[in-house]
Amino acid sequence: MLPFDDSRRLTGANLFFACTGAVLEVVGVPVDERLLEGWRERVGRARAHLRWSEAGLVARVHKGGASLALAAPFDLLFLATEINEWALGATLLEREPERWSGLAAAMHAAALADAAEPESVLPAVLEEPAAMARFARLAGREIRPQQRALVAAAAARALPHLLDERELTLGAGGGGRSYPLEALPDPAAVPWGELHDIPTALVTGSNGKTTTVRLLAACARAHGWRAGLNCTDGVYVDGEALVSGDYSGPAGTRRVMREPRTDVAILETARGGILRRGIAVSHAHLAVVTNVSTDHFGEYGIHDLSALADAKLAVAGVVKRGGLLVLGADDELLRSKASELVRRFGACPPLGWFALDADLPALIAYRALGAPTCGVRAGRLVLDYRGAEHDLGPIAAMPLAIGGIAAYNVANLAAAALGAVALGIPPVAIATACARFGAEFKDNPGRMMRFESGGVQLLMDYAHNPESLRGFLAVAERLRGRGRLAVLLGHAGNRRDADLEEVSRVVASFRPELVVVKEIATHLRGRAPGEVPRLIHAALLGAGLPESAITMRDSELEAARCALEWARPGDVVGLLVHSPAGRTAVLQMLGSRHAGSAGGAA
């Protein structure tokens, strides 16, 4: 049995440091300071042998084991994973030679099983002299001097670069040029004068990412720019869908940055991509962290809110000097973590802050220090930037805010406004976008889409964690008046039982008259069919809902049909739909029965 369950490359800024490297997820062995010291010393000797200048070395011990990360040159990342595995394995062998005598053979067998060309795999060794010789051979195979020369030349010209297994891109958008890795030019042959950067924004957080990305793109369009964006629904340029699906990770980022029509890049940057591979872009002009709330615990060594905040704040590592990192001041954890960024990255980008209340004491203090802020004052969205105050209009008139009752969307508006001005979009264009965005379904599909059918109000949203559910159901509660409330509830199978119980408690706390528990067949993710609905059903009962208020359906479409057949005039139905196919099917079923407007919760 291997003492780790994942050994992977980090191809960009990440949870551990603001450069490339590798991380090893240690499981099944006691992690103490003696083990970590042995690992550190061996990594140091391997780096010295290979003459690496990269110094980042981080051990994050958590309740599931430990994450061991080392910084490494961008063209030697496979070698970095080998060094990481050897440093741990050799330390374990020294401590318990009998237990780990077969570890080298097990590591070699695992490498053969994963290799596309098994005959090229060098046998794993744990004895240090043989390991060092092996590393030198592997370095000779992997190192790419031509790539290094081109990336260095781009950096000298303050140009971004993108690198994957097939292409190297220098510049971005209409100012980018891509080259196949097998046919890279000499730096002198690159038409550097034709290459340029484009305004680039990263948006992450637990809730509000997709809505904030779409808002920023709307602000860019109001300014006359062609916005490229990636999100959980796909990749879009100037409103045109290039590809559909969840593209909130590195693949979506690269697609946007390589699209020649892109004048400004708005990149949804989800937690999973950051932890799995790191951030795909080499630098950005803006990063937004909307908030941090309970979600996805138990994956990649993230078991609490503090670690989750650290993962999302990895975006700070790529913000350019003179750029802006925008954070939610209503989130106490983000405020406290901001003070750690200098220690973590060696420097901290300028900070901007948004909040629901423009006169929140923390916002007043940040403004006094010269930081840009955005929030609501006397019912109006107010932006303070570079010593000037800009009135962006009444919140009640902004469709996304639903008359001001959708607090989470007010926060999204404030975050997007602050981010947009940092990208160079004038306040008048931002105000125009805020006054319009959300009036049409196409503005923010799948996020707080509002319909009316036969006197029944229908709200379709993606809310999927406790915080987003509370925000969504608070709006439904305000809208229903004396009517009844029905809610669709389901979840992805990769969530812990405790997570399913928590979302069930949140829904139950609003005392809906009907909860339709649904199966999401495309999101089983390791669970048996019917397992997630059964757990949610039991959790709803445990939270005090009567059996008579709960029913089960086998699909999102059937769940929506059940709730609509139950509803009568005056009721509100919360259509929480999570799969793209389910959303399409439900919208087709509604057909011409609706008339309404849209908004957004996640």
The band of 476, judged by pLDDT with boundaries at 50, 70 and 90, is very high
Q: Which residues pair with 204 in a beta bridge?
A: 289
Rg of the chain, C-alpha, whole Å: 25
The pLDDT assigned to 552 comes to 94
The band of 463, judged by pLDDT with boundaries at 50, 70 and 90, is confident
Please tell me whether residue 286 adopts helix, strand or coil conformation: strand
Query: Rounded to 5 degrees, what angle do the CA atoms 594, 599, 601 make?
Result: 125
Mapping DSSP onto H, E and C, the string for 111-168 reads: HHHHCCCHHHCCCCCCCHHHHHHHHHHHHHHHCCHHHHHHHHHHHHCCCCEEECCCEE
User: Between the CA of residue 77 and those of 4, 80, 81, 83, 197, what are the distances in Å?
Assistant: 18, 5, 6, 10, 26
Q: What tokens appear for 258 in the block?
A: 């390589």
Per-domain boundaries in the chain: 4-142, 145-194, 200-437, 449-593
Asked whether residue 275 carries a pLDDT value surpassing 60, the answer given is yes
The pLDDT assigned to 595 comes to 46
Q: What is the pLDDT of residues 373-392, one digit of tens each?
A: 999 999 999 999 999 999 99
The pLDDT assigned to 445 comes to 86
Distance of alpha carbon 21 from the chain centroid: 19
The pLDDT assigned to 590 comes to 82
Asked whether residue 425 carries a pLDDT value surpassing 70, the answer given is yes
The pLDDT assigned to 313 comes to 96
How far is it, in rounded angstroms, from Cα 218 to Cα 571? 33
Mean pLDDT of 107-136: 94
Asked whether residue 597 carries a pLDDT value surpassing 60, the answer given is no
The band of 110, judged by pLDDT with boundaries at 50, 70 and 90, is very high
How far is it, in rounded angstroms, from Cα 380 to Cα 391? 7
The band of 598, judged by pLDDT with boundaries at 50, 70 and 90, is low
Mean pLDDT of 469-497: 90
Nearest to 214 by CA among 230, 200, 199: 230
Residues 6+ apart with CB under 8 A from 368: none
Q: Can you give the pTM of this predicted structure?
A: 0.90
The pLDDT assigned to 578 comes to 85
Asked whether residue 534 carries a pLDDT value surpassing 90, the answer given is yes
For residue 120, with 0-12 CB atoms within 10 Å meaning exposed, 13-18 middle and 19 or more buried, which class applies? exposed
Lay out the sheet containing 550-553: strands in order across: 449-453, 456-461, 572-576, 485-489, 514-518, 550-553
Distance of alpha carbon 509 from the chain centroid: 28
Residues 6+ apart with CB under 8 A from 596: 449, 450, 451, 452, 458
Number of Cβ within a 10 Å radius of residue 436: 15
How far is it, in rounded angstroms, from Cα 50 to Cα 82? 13
Mean pLDDT of 465-488: 91
Q: Check: CB of residue 20 under 8 Å from CB of residue 71.
A: yes
Mean pLDDT of 460-464: 86
Give all strands (DSSP E) within 332-483, no chain letters.
351-357, 373-377, 380-385, 388-394, 449-453, 456-461
Domain boundaries 200-437, corresponding CATH code: 3.40.1190.10
The band of 164, judged by pLDDT with boundaries at 50, 70 and 90, is very high
The pLDDT assigned to 32 comes to 95
| C-alpha count within 13 angstroms, C-beta hemisphere, residue 256 | 36
Average per-residue pLDDT for the chain: 93
Phi/psi region, residue 333 (left: phi>0; alpha: psi -120 to 50; beta: rest), is alpha
Q: What tokens appear for 51 in the block?
A: 């003459």
The pLDDT assigned to 464 comes to 79
Asked whether residue 589 carries a pLDDT value surpassing 90, the answer given is no
Q: Check: CB of residue 283 under 8 Å from CB of residue 161.
A: no
For residue 23, with 0-12 CB atoms within 10 Å meaning exposed, 13-18 middle and 19 or more buried, which class applies? buried
How far is it, in rounded angstroms, from Cα 358 to Cα 330? 11
Q: At residue 534, what is the residue type? A: R
Helix (H) or strand (E) holding 245: none
Mapping DSSP onto H, E and C, the string for 467-501 reads: HHHHHHHHHHHHHHCCCCEEEEECCCCCCCHHHHH
Correct CATH for 449-593 of 3.90.190.20, 3.40.190.10, 3.40.50.11030, 3.40.50.800: 3.90.190.20
Residues 6+ apart with CB under 8 A from 500: 491, 532, 535, 536, 539
Nearest to 189 by CA among 203, 200, 179, 199: 179
The pLDDT assigned to 486 comes to 96
Q: What tokens appear for 300 in the block?
A: 């990649």
The pLDDT assigned to 268 comes to 97
Q: Which residue has tokens 């803006």?
A: 286
Please tell me whether residue 374 adopts helix, strand or coil conformation: strand
Q: What is the pLDDT of residues 194-221, one digit of tens each?
A: 999 999 999 999 889 999 999 999 999 9
In angstroms, how far apart are the furthest CA atoms of the chain?
Answer: 78
Lay out the sheet containing 161-163: strands in order across: 161-163, 167-170, 177-180
Q: DSSP label at 516?
A: E
The pLDDT assigned to 599 comes to 54
Query: Rounded to 5 degrees, what angle do the CA atoms 316, 318, 71 make?
Result: 100
Q: DSSP label at 174?
A: G
Asked whether residue 172 carries a pLDDT value surpassing 90, the answer given is yes
Q: What is the pLDDT of residues 538-555, one digit of tens each?
A: 999 999 999 999 999 999
